[in-house]
Amino acid sequence: MEAIDYTALLAERSRQVEASGVRQIFELSKTLPDPIDLSIGQPDFDVPEPIKAAACAAIVAGRNGYTLTQGMGELRERLRAEVQRRFPDQKREVLVTSGTSGGLFLAMLALVNPGDEVVTTDPYFVAYPNHVALVGGRMVLVDTYPDFRLDPQRLEAAITPRTKVVVFSTPANPTGVTIDAEAARQIVEITLRRRIIIVSDEIYRGFCYDHPPISPAQFGDNVLVVEGFGKTYGMTGWRLGWVHGPPQLVEEMAKLQQFTYVCAPSMVQWAALTALDTDMSALVQTYRRKRDLMVEGLRDCYELVVPQGAFYLFPRAPGGDATAFVQQAIRQQLLIIPGRVFSRKDTHFRLSYAAPDAVLQRGLTVLRRLAGVGS
């Protein structure tokens, strides 16, 4: 019997999705004997012990079944209180999701029809174009080089009658840039006038170093905010996110979650109650120090924008060919990500400083050597 060509049976949507360049580097790290891994956007600290204990206690207590699709009541009430404190003049509903990526994808499922346009920045988080492709939408990019700030006028110029959603992250992955209040206010005004939803990806909200976090939701109720526990508490593998925004939209997302993710992991939801009472400020200050260490170590030999949040730098590659530069770095055991993974350009590279200081120092030595500085 002739073998089946399974690739011929694949749905067209699956052909639109590209394998993550970040994951390719992650797999490469497993093959190197002693890599200097500055590639993966994952905290290098462990989940705090009280949060671990809460998850274990939930398992032992038999809290292992499904929760409500929307999330268990105790957690949703805590999150609602937080939203009410931050946005006292708005009516916003809350949904607990299977990770921040789960929330982002549910938003695209709920909002984007085939042919609709979704506007985002270039550079962008790697999931955005793939989520848009999976729902049949069209991604429209707004160039933010060289300072990586989303200019409201450029955004407005990119909007067409087919535009349904504007999505961006703040603090941003891969650049670490945060939106400022005036730009956020103008962007909200533009999108309200054009009847467009903003999806604000604020997974790195807990990592803002130079000013308090700013959300476009402060300036209007047409903003769906996507947040999460994974980065802030070092529990990325636990897959717990949450969204808040217009009730009609959040209710529709909950309906879609019921038939996709069903619900977020139950024991992790119980642990999240403890996480909300856990002070992470000391670790955030540690990451600010790591940011400063890397900026000071590179600013004399690389063109870079100082990030205000997250835990990434996005320097320009010497010579402007990031893929070639990353290949040189890998030959010296240094793992970083070429800009083409996050952009239509390949002039910059992303490094994560979510790593022990000793690893960061080794990385600085290689990067300075590649730039022709030092031994």
Share of the chain above pLDDT 90, in %: 89
DSSP state of 62: T
User: Which of the listed residues 243, 275, 307 is the one where a domain comes to its end?
Assistant: 275
Give yes or no for a contact between 169 and 204, defined as CB atoms under 8 angstroms apart.
yes
Instruction: Tell me whether residue 99 is in a domain.
Output: yes
Mean pLDDT over 339-367 rounds to 97
- Shared-domain flag, residues 193 and 240: yes
User: What span, in angstroms and rounded, lies between the C-alpha atoms of 141 and 123?
Assistant: 9
- Shared-domain flag, residues 36 and 180: no
User: What span, in angstroms and rounded, lies between the C-alpha atoms of 301 and 323?
Assistant: 19
The pLDDT score that the predictor gives to residue 375 is 53
273-303 in b/e burial notation, b at 16+ Cβ within 10 A?
bbbeeeebeebbeebbebbeebbebbeebbe
Helical residues (DSSP H) of 96-246, grouped into ranges: 99-111, 127-134, 152-158, 181-193, 230-233
Instruction: Tell me whether residue 165 is in a domain.
Output: yes
Helical residues (DSSP H) of the chain, grouped into ranges: 12-15, 21-29, 49-60, 73-86, 99-111, 127-134, 152-158, 181-193, 230-233, 247-258, 266-275, 281-298, 322-331, 357-370
Mean pLDDT over 206-233 rounds to 97
Share of the chain above pLDDT 70, in %: 96
**Residues 153-158: contacts with CB under 8 Å, at least 24 apart:** 155/119, 155/187, 155/190, 156/190, 158/119
Q: Centre a 10 Å sphere on the Cβ of residue 7 and count the other Cβ atoms it contains.
A: 8
- Shared-domain flag, residues 284 and 243: no
The domain tally of the chain equals 2
Confidence class for position 5, pLDDT limits 50, 70, 90: confident
For 133-169, write each residue's pLDDT tens digit. 999 999 999 999 999 999 999 999 999 999 999 999 9
Instruction: Tell me whether residue 52 is in a domain.
Output: no
Average confidence score pLDDT of the chain: 95
Q: Centre a 10 Å sphere on the Cβ of residue 350 and count the other Cβ atoms it contains.
A: 28
Residue bearing tokens 């949040």: 309
- Shared-domain flag, residues 253 and 300: no
- Shared-domain flag, residues 38 and 103: no
The pLDDT score that the predictor gives to residue 24 is 65
Confidence class for position 14, pLDDT limits 50, 70, 90: confident
Mean pLDDT over 58-82 rounds to 97
Confidence class for position 12, pLDDT limits 50, 70, 90: confident
- Shared-domain flag, residues 98 and 137: yes
Question: With 90 as the cut, is the pLDDT of residue 19 above it?
Answer: no
Q: Exposed, middle or buried, 149 (CB in 10 Å: 0-12/13-18/19+)?
A: middle
Q: In CATH, what number is assigned to the domain containing residue 238? A: 3.40.640.10
For 238-271, write each residue's pLDDT tens digit. 999 999 999 999 999 999 999 999 999 999 999 9
- Shared-domain flag, residues 261 and 155: yes
Mean pLDDT over 277-291 rounds to 97
Q: In CATH, what number is assigned to the domain containing residue 339? A: 3.90.1150.10
Tell me the one-letter amino acid at 230. G
Question: Can you spell out the DSSP letters for 313-333?
Answer: E-PBPGGG-HHHHHHHHHHTT
- Shared-domain flag, residues 92 and 159: yes
User: Which of the listed residues 211, 245, 275 is the one where a domain comes to its end?
Assistant: 275
- Shared-domain flag, residues 198 and 322: no
Instruction: Tell me whether residue 316 is in a domain.
Output: yes
Question: With 80 as the cut, is the pLDDT of residue 23 above it?
Answer: no
- Shared-domain flag, residues 258 and 189: yes
Higher pLDDT, residue 97 or 1: 97
Confidence class for position 33, pLDDT limits 50, 70, 90: confident
The pLDDT score that the predictor gives to residue 166 is 98
- Shared-domain flag, residues 270 and 304: no
User: Which of the listed residues 275, 296, 311 is the one where a domain comes to its end?
Assistant: 275
Confidence class for position 281, pLDDT limits 50, 70, 90: very high
Instruction: Tell me whether residue 56 is in a domain.
Output: no
User: What span, in angstroms and rounded, lies between the C-alpha atoms of 67 and 262?
Assistant: 9
- Shared-domain flag, residues 312 and 233: no
The pLDDT score that the predictor gives to residue 319 is 93
Q: How far is CA 247 from CA 90, 297, 332, 333, in A?
A: 11, 47, 51, 49
- pTM to 2 decimal places: 0.94
**Residues 189-192: contacts with CB under 8 Å, at least 24 apart:** 189/219, 189/220, 190/152, 190/155, 190/156, 190/159, 191/166, 191/220, 191/222, 192/220, 192/222
Q: Assign residue 46 a region (left: φ > 0; alpha: ψ between -120 and 50; beta: otherwise).
A: beta
Instruction: Tell me whether residue 54 is in a domain.
Output: no
Domain boundaries, position 118: 65-275
